[in-house]
A and B are shown apart, each in its own frame.
Chain A
Amino acid sequence: MVEASKRLSSKAPRGPIAERWDKHRFNMKLVNPSNKRRFHVLVVGSGLAGASAAASLAELGYKITCFCIQDSPRRAHSIAAQGGINAAKNYPNDGDSVYRLFYDTVKGGDFRARESNVYRLAQISNSIIDQCAAQGVPFAREYGGALSNRSFGGAQVSRTFYARGQTGQQLLLGAYSSLMRQVGLGKVSMFPRREMLDVVVVDGVARGIVCRNLTTGAYERYAGDAVLLCTGGYGNVFYLSTNAKACNVTASWRAHKRGAFFANPCFTQIHPTCIPVSGSHQSKLTLMSESLRNDGRVWVPKRAEDGRAARDIPEEERDYYLERRYPSFGNLVPRDVASRAAKERCDAGYGVGSTGLAVYLDFRDAIRRDGQDLIRQKYGNLFQMYEKITAEDPYSAPMRIFPAVHYTMGGLWVDYNLESTLPGLFVLGEANFSDHGANRLGASALMQGLADGYFVAPYTIAGHFTGRPLPAVSADAAEFLASESEVRGRTEKILGVGGRRTVDSFHRELGGIMWHLCGMARSADGLNRAREQVQTLRAEFWENVTISGSGASLNQDLEHAGRVADFLEFAELMIDDAAHRCESCGGHFREEHQTEDGEARRNDDKFSYAAAWEYRGVGSAAKLHKEALEFEYVKPSQRSYK
């Protein structure tokens, strides 16, 4: 049995699971409509979670200030999501339900998520689709005008709504349009090109932030009554990932240093279908939507280091290894399983392409069956993107794909109200740890970001306003001045190192360490080496980094340096988390803990908990707190896709 930490109260209600969210909302005090304007909420980030929260809270009457790192809130990285968004509408009449979406999500997360949260997410999923359709999101339609659904990521029902291969873009533009409407109405003040560098804590409550104006270099202090962090995931700790270049851990990490526990940082998702690395110059990786696995067949040659072109390899000399290993799910096994299987084949010498780090995703049979036109209709934009990047035509030769870091399930620990262990600090979307457990299912990230922003935080934040005394604070208070001076000092320290090595080279080296030793497969020995290497690299960074220009104007090199400095601290926590979890579950695969056929082996007796880490200083081991996970409805079982 897991001994639960007294510091973590999930606040998840008891009783029948289908009634919990209703009951919780009923028990929560409401803020009088005329009082709402007195509460000022600082929303950091303008992706799906941030934009939807800022817009919805402003509609309720709260005073909102919203910040984003990009030049416009419309460019948050949610925009790059391709495939779709899940909801339990059961429009196709194929047997879906809230309960089934809940069940699939808990199971897909390999039994490391909180049941109450997941059930609520499934319940809310339907309202999200209604909301987005009303905003004018141009979802795919059937000829009769009804919404179209597809099956995604191996789901046995068609519950995914989509807008071509640009679902994230369209959902984000929907949330952004609602946000900009509130900006136009004067209910939201929007500050783009701002990077949050600290959360300011007054009397134990998060009451403001300090950020750097990326255009002028000035430090700015903002006071409020609550802070919402909607700042995304930390996949760029690996340097190469499908994340946008500006994605970083800084906001979460600075909040962590101020008292927010960081949960399950080792739970990272490696997406199986990305365009392989082509050379050492590569600055980021590009995802090819998972929907491709609905029609594409994954294979490698049966002969190791077979140098022939794909088309010259006859059928009987091809190893369709997913179909071979998992006859019932075949090419549609969950992401973690598909990624590991690709790595296994490549490690064994069967990889293809110039680097040997790729497998084929082949549409030959689908084109023979359905014709090129239908395949073009379904995946045209993806095929075009592939051709643009690789200069190869996927209609005539198979695509080459390889897994890449895509999403981070870990994040700041939050209770059922999405409040972190730092009172008044709420964390939404990918930045929190909730809902996906150890592995996220396809088309569930958009669902969670929008659920948190449209339909959870706008209710649960009221408990904070009605439940705590919140005396007026000024952004000139001592706590704010102290925070600014600390943040300023850190920037000046980086500028003052005056070394010889570029920020990017540190970031690349860190990424290499994390990818090889804390990526798709991890071992105690490898993690120990990773920890030493990260510590050495971090020490070198503070002695040898070089930054051009000054802090007094737009300086992208300096921005990057601050983020890499935080990644260098955060990476160690990720390694510690991976090392302490002596089991394999979801995206976390420990080589010592696998079944005879190489599948993940969980240890529910010892590890059925969320690991929430308390900060105790750079280089000092963080303190572990455990939130025991109870499964009353979905009984943990070995996932099997055979």
Chain B
Amino acid sequence: MSGDPTSSMGFTLKIWRQSAPDAKGTMETYHVADVSPDMSFLEMLDVLNESLIGEGREPVAFDHDCREGICGACSLVIDGQAHGPETETTVCQLHMRHYSDGATIHIEPFRANAFPVLKDLVIDRSAFDRIIAEGGFISTHTGSAPDANAITVAKDLAERAMDAAACIGCGACVAACPNSAAMLFVGAKVSHLALLPQGQAERNRRGLAMVARMDQEGFGNCTNHFECMAACPKGISVENIARLNRELLRGALAPRRV
């Protein structure tokens, strides 16, 4: 249940500060007071930043946008866990009622070689976009589509495709993986498209192309830790990694077209 909204909590925050991509970062300690249990984690950081600005100090930079768990911008590691302690919850949907008054909380950016820090808690995830550009699509020219009901899709396939397509591209899977693998991210997209009849024409090359790019970007590979699934705010299953591996095999064995 909700805490008393009038009650006020305080926390000690240990936050990663880094002034620029090539600067050396450190953990800095801050105290934040007047936190309501109904605040989201990001609203708690807003309170801290307002007080830092008031003191003439630089606020903590962090990515956020929709604040309703769908855009995938927020990207904090809280006490060692990507997106914090609640399951299937982005940081923006994590509320302070889950913390005890007076707690010390460690806040770091998602860490991976392929996600360089730009400033404080802000990272560069453009590697994900470059992976999608290699094959995370169905090549269809605007205007060339047949009537939508000309392509029927079995309900269970559509549902499973939707499960995979729910990925918000936040990168928590990479941050949680000891190898910094992007296999869950790539597996989700490859699965979404491989499950649908519309995705068949490019099926054999899609996974291979995306994984080649994934390797090139410096992501690691999967060694079945399943930390990605535990961290995923959308509950994307590691089944998608298994499917990706099958798609890779299928692509590798497919006859080459000239």
Q: Give CA–CA (A547, B95) in the complex, Å.
A: 28
Contact of A192 with B by CB under 8 A: yes
- Judge whether B132 and A80 touch: CB under 8 Å: no
Contact of B124 with A by CB under 8 A: yes
- Judge whether A139 and B158 touch: CB under 8 Å: yes
Query: Taking the nearest CB of chain A, how far is it from the CB of B58, in angstroms?
Result: 5
- Judge whether B65 and A245 touch: CB under 8 Å: yes
Q: Give CA–CA (A557, B58) in the complex, Å.
A: 9
Name A137's closest neighbour in chain B (CB-CB). Answer: B165
Query: Taking the nearest CB of chain B, how far is it from the CB of A411, in angstroms?
Result: 21
Contact of B149 among A146, A177, A553 (CB under 8 A): A146
For residue B152, which residues in chain A have a CB less than 8 angstroms away from its CB?
141, 144-146
Size class of the contact patch on chain B: 35 or more
- Judge whether A286 and B68 touch: CB under 8 Å: yes
For residue A131, which residues in chain B have a CB less than 8 angstroms away from its CB?
140, 142-143, 145
- Judge whether B67 and A283 touch: CB under 8 Å: yes
Q: Give CA–CA (A70, B58) in the complex, Å.
A: 21
Query: Taking the nearest CB of chain B, how far is it from the CB of A246, in angstroms?
Result: 5
Of residues 78 to 110 in A, which have CB atoms within 8 Å of B's CB atoms?
79-80, 89, 91
- Judge whether A180 and B133 touch: CB under 8 Å: yes
- Judge whether A79 and B147 touch: CB under 8 Å: no
Query: Taking the nearest CB of chain B, how far is it from the CB of A132, in angstroms?
Result: 8
Name B124's closest neighbour in chain A (CB-CB). Answer: A71
Name A188's closest neighbour in chain B (CB-CB). Answer: B133
Of residues 133 to 161 in B, which have CB atoms within 8 Å of A's CB atoms?
133-134, 136-149, 151-155, 158, 161
Q: Give CA–CA (A547, B155) in the complex, Å.
A: 53
- Judge whether B119 and A147 touch: CB under 8 Å: no
- Judge whether A130 and B71 touch: CB under 8 Å: no
Contact of A474 with B by CB under 8 A: no
For residue B239, which residues in chain A have a CB less than 8 angstroms away from its CB?
none
Contact of A434 with B by CB under 8 A: no
Query: Taking the nearest CB of chain A, how far is it from the CB of B52, in angstroms?
Result: 7
For residue A553, which residues in chain B have a CB less than 8 angstroms away from its CB?
19-20, 119
Contact of A56 with B by CB under 8 A: yes
Q: Give CA–CA (A334, B62) in the complex, Å.
A: 38
- Judge whether B133 and A184 touch: CB under 8 Å: yes
Q: Give CA–CA (A192, B133) in the complex, Å.
A: 14
Contact of A617 with B by CB under 8 A: no
For residue B162, which residues in chain A have a CB less than 8 angstroms away from its CB?
138, 163-164, 170
User: Given contacts A136-B199, A502-B50, is CB(A80)–CB(B66) below 8 Å?
Assistant: yes
Contact of A134 with B by CB under 8 A: yes
Contact of A28 with B by CB under 8 A: no
- Judge whether A183 and B149 touch: CB under 8 Å: no
Residue in B36, B129, B166 whose Cβ sees the most chain A Cβ within 10 Å? B129
Contact of B47 with A by CB under 8 A: yes
Size class of the contact patch on chain A: 35 or more
- Judge whether A557 and B59 touch: CB under 8 Å: yes
Contact of A75 with B by CB under 8 A: yes
Q: Give CA–CA (A517, B58) in the complex, Å.
A: 34
Name A134's closest neighbour in chain B (CB-CB). Answer: B145
- Judge whether A130 and B145 touch: CB under 8 Å: yes
Q: Give CA–CA (A141, B157) in the complex, Å.
A: 9
- Judge whether B71 and A77 touch: CB under 8 Å: yes
User: Given contacts A55-B142, A388-B95, A553-B119, is CB(A136)–CB(B47) below 8 Å?
Assistant: no
Contact of A637 with B by CB under 8 A: no
- Judge whether A130 and B148 touch: CB under 8 Å: yes
Stretch at the interface among B76-84, B174-182, B190-198, B217-225: B190-198
Contact of A368 with B by CB under 8 A: no
Contact of A354 with B by CB under 8 A: yes
Name B62's closest neighbour in chain A (CB-CB). Answer: A556
Contact of A143 with B by CB under 8 A: yes
Q: Give CA–CA (A554, B63) in the complex, Å.
A: 11
A 384-398 binary contact with B (CB < 8 Å = 1; else 0): 010011111000000
Query: Taking the nearest CB of chain A, how far is it from the CB of B190, in angstroms?
Result: 12
Q: Give CA–CA (A246, B67) in the complex, Å.
A: 11
- Judge whether A245 and B119 touch: CB under 8 Å: no
Contact of A177 among B57, B64, B97, B138 (CB under 8 A): B138
Q: Can you list the 10 inter-chain pairs with the closest CB atoms, starting with the nearest?
A: A145-B152, A134-B145, A184-B133, A177-B137, A133-B148, A130-B145, A138-B162, A391-B2, A56-B142, A141-B158
B residues bordering A, Cβ < 8 Å? 1-2, 5, 19-20, 36, 38-40, 42-43, 46-47, 49-50, 52-54, 56-59, 61, 63-73, 89, 93, 95, 97, 118-119, 122, 124-126, 128-129, 132-134, 136-149, 151-155, 158, 161-162, 165-166, 168-169, 192-193, 196, 198-199
Can you sample 9 A-B contacts with CB below 8 Å? Answer: A77-B66, A80-B68, A177-B136, A190-B129, A284-B68, A287-B68, A388-B93, A454-B143, A458-B142
